């Protein structure tokens, strides 16, 4: 490819609305341009990287036995009504009507469409297992699109759906996809973790997220330093608690704590550790149900865990009025003793066995000391509702401690079970001629998001440092002085030779000063760069720059093509 004939509109200045580094660099490198909030044009260079990654995904999907197809973006409302998600999905589902007033939506995901196809076409146990995938544009009307391709409203996704005769077979399909995902992200050279995750609005019985580690990641994850346990913090379990053996001796006592509204204030004021206090929170469901949650003072609530325990559709911090109605107290002095209303009291498992602790007295400026569970107040249920922190003991092994990371979710695999097949009545006949429900799994990879995540993980002050497997070009050839015919001829020869051995090369033949070319080449992240200048040529040499290491090699002209070919082939090898 001739740079002068191609289209790479780089910019020097960072656009003011780009916050994270990958967004800034993709904009500056001329890979993407914004059309509307969360909606982007993929410019030629950006598309090349996207396609590179798609092909890796495609190869691994095919290898894992999945079959490619393509479903439409526009989907009829009826299917969504049938699965129940038309009402459930909310505003993220972009809905509209056609000229006949029939309702449609833009597909945010394709469980309904694929299940509809399968229910019509798969009739026998002999046709399974089967797994369909597509690489296609999705639309989700996100509340807050941000970070460029990281969270767009329209985005490219690989989604796969597996269909099996029973739960055990579905587990096997799940594992195949899990392994394919491991290979995919490995091949891109990404530093990532597969973590246990909540199933969210897709539903189903269990799931793993694939997280690229990056400080700018929107998710917090933990992993054990000695076993393989890793989970999204939303999901991460606290280790089982063993009850303390303190005996109850001191009587409950009310004390004045003027203006001490936070645990930190109260603990300091009464001179106790915050671990010897109980934090009381009140939550409300969207239908107005209330619940009280108790945690050890130095712990944080995991709202998702509480929500899942309660089986609520939504969980909200209770309003001051709601809190007053059930406790009779202003915020800051809440506790489980002397409630005005009979509401469930859910306590974290660690609260079990907490003796002689400090907690709110449901009265302005008053707390209790020496409060003890069981003697002074009752708890409806003890469950794990706290957020784990770095250094916690691992819930799965004896000796491990949890480490905490930030991650970008680039892939997610779900075991769906029969959620959609039941709703849409997707059944098959087993060997006995008996009708059975199909078991499903679904598996997604954010294509643009992965490319963005790769940039997030691979860049320096000069720009992107693409891993070779997803770089838009493997190599560039920079002619230092385009007016020098000897330089141009030598550069062109190298360029053509590289192309002939299958290297994707960008020939920077622009009539620009060398500095401009070097800056642009660095910015757009070309992994290898050959610089052809008159000084080097006089000795029969050119320069080979390796973007990732910063190495600069002086290479004999005749050897450079072979060297580049070797470097590229080595990076593309995947012996799995």
Residue 199 or 352: the one with the smaller Cβ distance to RNA is 199
Q: Which residue bears the tokens 């909540």?
A: 198
Q: Which stretch binds RNA (CB under 7 A): 176-184, 255-263, 355-363, 443-451?
A: 443-451
- Beta strands in 289-337, from DSSP E residues, in sequence order: 290-296, 315-317
How far are the Cα atoms of 125, 130, 429 from residue 432, in angstroms, in the given order? 10, 20, 7
* Interaction between residue 143 and RNA (CB under 7 A): yes
- In the three-class reduction of DSSP (H, G, I as helix; E, B as strand; rest coil), residue 546 is classed as strand
Among 297, 335, 400, 411, contact with RNA (rule: CB under 7 A): 411
Residue span 100-139 as binding mask against RNA, x where in contact by CB under 7 A, dash where not: ---------x------------------------------
Nearest approach in angstroms of CB 326 to RNA is 23
Task: Kindly provide the residue ranges of all beta strands, DSSP E only, lying in 267-401, ordered along the sequence.
Answer: 278-285, 290-296, 315-317, 345-348, 357-360, 366-371, 381-383
Using the rule CB under 7 A, give the single segment among 259-267, 361-369, 477-485, 501-509 that binds RNA: 477-485
Question: Minimum Å distance from CB 363 to RNA?
Answer: 29
Query: Residues 2, 19, 256, 289: which binds RNA (CB under 7 A)?
Result: 19
Nearer to RNA, 512 or 569 (CB): 512
Of 191, 482, 492, 553, the residue at the interface with RNA (CB under 7 A) is 482
Question: What does the block give as tokens for 316?
Answer: 């909200």
Distance CA 325, CA 525 (A): 60
Which residues lie below 8 Å from residue 105, measured CB to CB, with a gap of 6+?
Answer: 74, 75, 77, 80, 86, 93, 94, 95, 96
Find out whether the peptide bond into 173 is cis, omega within 30 degrees of 0: no
Chain centroid to Cα 302, Å, comes to 18
User: For residue 226, how many other CB atoms are within 10 A of its CB?
Assistant: 12
Cβ 543 to RNA shortest distance, Å:
5
Closest CB to RNA among residues 38, 360: 38
- Under the criterion CB under 7 A, does residue 38 sit at the interface with RNA? yes
Q: Among 573, 558, 458, 565, which Cα is nearest to 505's?
A: 565
Nearer to RNA, 195 or 371 (CB): 195
Q: Which two tokens stand for residue 206?
A: 């269990």
CB of 513 to RNA, least distance (A): 4
String of contacts with RNA for each residue 63-82, x by CB under 7 A: --------------------
CB of residue 194 to RNA, shortest distance in Å: 11
Which of 49-57, 332-340, 422-430, 441-449 is the region at the interface with RNA (rule: CB under 7 A)? 441-449
The residue from 69, 70, 84, 92 that contacts RNA (CB under 7 A) is 92
Cα separation of 282 and 293, whole Å?
A: 6
Considering beta carbons, is residue 184 or 498 the nearer one to RNA? 184
Query: Residue 384 or residue 543: which is nearer to RNA going by CB?
Result: 543
The first and second tokens of residue 41, run together, are 């044009």
Tokens of 503: 């290297």
Binding residue for RNA (CB under 7 A) from 46, 107, 145, 417? 145
- Beta strands (DSSP E) in 235-356 are 253-256, 278-285, 290-296, 315-317, 345-348
Q: In the window 503-532, what residues touch RNA (CB under 7 A)?
A: 511-516, 518-520, 522-523, 531-532
547 lies in the binding site for RNA (CB under 7 A): no
Tokens 């995991």 locate to: 302
The alpha-helical segments, DSSP class H, found in 35-128 are 44-63, 77-83, 85-88, 111-121
Are residues 301 and 346 in contact, defined by beta-carbon separation less than 8 angstroms?
Answer: no
Q: Using the rule CB under 7 A, give the single segment among 54-62, 117-125, 469-477, 480-488 that binds RNA.
A: 480-488
Stretch that binds RNA, among 236-244, 280-288, 382-390, 439-447 (CB under 7 A): 439-447
CA dihedral of 165, 168, 170, 173, whole degrees rounded to 10:
-120
193-232 residues in contact with RNA (CB under 7 A) are 200-202, 209, 218-219
CB 420 within 8 A of CB 112: yes
Cα atoms found within 13 Å of the Cα of residue 290, Cβ hemisphere only: 18
Q: How many residues bind RNA (CB under 7 A)?
A: 72
Using the rule CB under 7 A, which residue among 32, 118, 157, 190 binds RNA?
157
Instruction: Give, as ranges, the residues between 287 and 326 that touch RNA (CB under 7 A).
Output: 303-304
The residues facing 445 across adjacent strands are 158, 411
Taking CB under 7 A as the criterion, the residue among 132, 147, 382, 495 binding RNA is: 147
Please, what is the minimum distance in Å from the beta carbon of residue 247 to RNA?
Answer: 40
290-296/253-256 β-pairing: unpaired
The minimum distance between CB 227 and RNA, in angstroms, equals 24
User: For residue 251, which of 375, 114, 82 has the smallest C-alpha distance?
Assistant: 375
Q: Per rule CB under 7 A, is residue 336 in the interface with RNA?
A: no
Q: Which residue stretch of 34-42, 357-365, 384-392, 393-401 sits at the interface with RNA (rule: CB under 7 A)?
A: 34-42
Q: Minimal distance in Å, beta carbon 229 to RNA?
A: 20
CB nearer RNA, residue 28 or residue 52? 28
């Amino acid at each position: 490819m001739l740079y002068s004939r191609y289209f790479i509109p780089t910019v020097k200045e960072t656009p003011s609305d780009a916050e994270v580094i990958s967004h800034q660099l993709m904009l500056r490198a001329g890979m993407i341009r914004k059309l509307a909030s969360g909606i982007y044009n993929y410019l030629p260079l950006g598309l090349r990287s996207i396609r590179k990654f798609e092909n890796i995904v495609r190869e691994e999907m095919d290898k894992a036995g999945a079959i490619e197809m393509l479903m439409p973006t526009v989907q009829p409302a009826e299917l969504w009504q049938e699965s129940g998600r038309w009402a459930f999905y909310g505003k993220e589902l972009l809905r509209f009507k056609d000229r006949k007033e029939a309702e449609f939506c833009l597909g945010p995901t394709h469980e309904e469409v694929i299940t509809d196809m399968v229910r019509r076409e798969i009739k026998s146990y002999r046709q399974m297992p089967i797994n369909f995938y597509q690489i296609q544009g999705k639309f989700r009307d996100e509340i807050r699109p941000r970070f460029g391709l990281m969270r767009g409203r329209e985005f490219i996704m690989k989604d796969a759906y597996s269909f099996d005769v029973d739960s055990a077979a579905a587990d096997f399909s799940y594992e195949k996809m899990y392994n394919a995902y491991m290979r995919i992200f490995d091949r891109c050279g990404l530093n990532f973790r597969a973590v246990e995750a909540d199933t969210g609005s897709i539903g189903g019985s269990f799931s793993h997220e694939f997280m690229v580690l990056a400080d700018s990641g929107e998710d917090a994850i933990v992993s054990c330093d000695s076993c393989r346990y890793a989970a999204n913090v939303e999901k991460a379990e606290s280790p089982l608690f063993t009850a303390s053996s303190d005996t109850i001796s001191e009587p409950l006592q009310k004390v004045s704590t003027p203006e001490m509204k936070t645990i930190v204030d109260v603990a300091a004021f009464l001179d106790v550790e915050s671990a010897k206090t109980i934090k009381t929170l009140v939550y409300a469901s969207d239908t107005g149900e209330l619940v009280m949650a108790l945690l050890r003072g130095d712990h944080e609530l995991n709202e998702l865990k509480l929500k899942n325990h309660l089986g609520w559709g939504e969980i909200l911090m209770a309003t001051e009025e709601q809190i007053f109605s059930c406790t009779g107290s202003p915020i800051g002095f809440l506790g489980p003793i002397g409630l005005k209303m009979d509401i469930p009291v859910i306590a974290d498992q660690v609260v079990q066995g907490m003796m002689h602790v400090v907690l709110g007295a449901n009265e302005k400026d008053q707390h209790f000391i020496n409060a003890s569970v069981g003697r002074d107040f009752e708890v409806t249920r003890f469950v794990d509702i706290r957020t784990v922190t770095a250094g916690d003991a691992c819930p799965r092994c004896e000796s491990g401690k949890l480490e905490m990371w930030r991650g970008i979710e680039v892939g997610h695999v779900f075991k769906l079970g029969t959620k959609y097949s039941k709703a849409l009545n997707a059944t098959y006949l087993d060997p006995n001629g008996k009708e059975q429900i199909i078991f499903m799994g679904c598996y997604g990879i954010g294509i643009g998001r992965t490319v963005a995540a790769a940039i997030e993980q691979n860049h320096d002050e000069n720009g992107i440092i693409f891993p070779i497997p997803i770089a838009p070009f493997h190599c560039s050839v920079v002619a230092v002085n385009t007016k020098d015919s000897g330089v141009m001829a030598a550069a062109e020869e190298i360029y053509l030779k590289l192309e002939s051995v299958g290297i994707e090369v960008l020939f920077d033949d622009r009539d620009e000063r060398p500095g401009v070319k070097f800056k642009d080449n660095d910015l757009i992240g070309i992994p290898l760069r050959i610089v052809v200048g008159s000084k080097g040529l006089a000795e029969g040499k050119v320069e080979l720059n390796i973007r990732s290491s910063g190495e600069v090699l002086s290479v004999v002209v005749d050897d450079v093509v072979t060297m580049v070919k070797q470097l590229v082939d080595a990076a593309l090898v995947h012996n799995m």
